[in-house]
Amino acid sequence: MRFEKWLDTFLEEKGIDLNETFSITGWIDNNTYVDFLDYTYVIEAIKNATKSEEEKIKNKLIRIDFMNGDIKKYLQHLAQALVK
């Protein structure tokens, strides 16, 4: 629960709208596909990750934030693995 609370607070502080939709483009059997997801989908998957994965994701989010990087891009990157 501590990680979930931390993640919720982090996303709120960064102003991430969990209902915002983004697209993911990929390939299946030599055909291009496009999926439309919202950040809620990705965040729920993160909250159901193993403790080891949670720790890695948290550390990555902290590093991205420290470097003034794009948190949304990282969440979209994670979403790529979810749709495959």
Q: pLDDT of 24-64, one tens digit each?
A: 887 777 778 788 999 999 999 999 999 999 999 999 999 99
Contact 58, 39 (CB under 8 A): no
**Averaged pLDDT score across all residues of the chain:** 93
Cα three-residue angle 54-45-81, rounded to 5 degrees: 95
Q: What total number of domains does the chain contain?
A: 1
How far apart are the C-alpha atoms of 44 and 72, rounded to whole Å? 15
How far apart are the C-alpha atoms of 68 and 20, rounded to whole Å? 20
Domain of 77? 2-83
Phi and psi at 5, nearest 5°, equal: -65, -45
The pLDDT value recorded for residue 37 is: 93
The pLDDT value recorded for residue 55 is: 97
pLDDT over 90, % of the chain: 79
pLDDT at 23 over 80: yes
Tell me the pLDDT band of 83, cut-offs 50, 70 and 90: confident
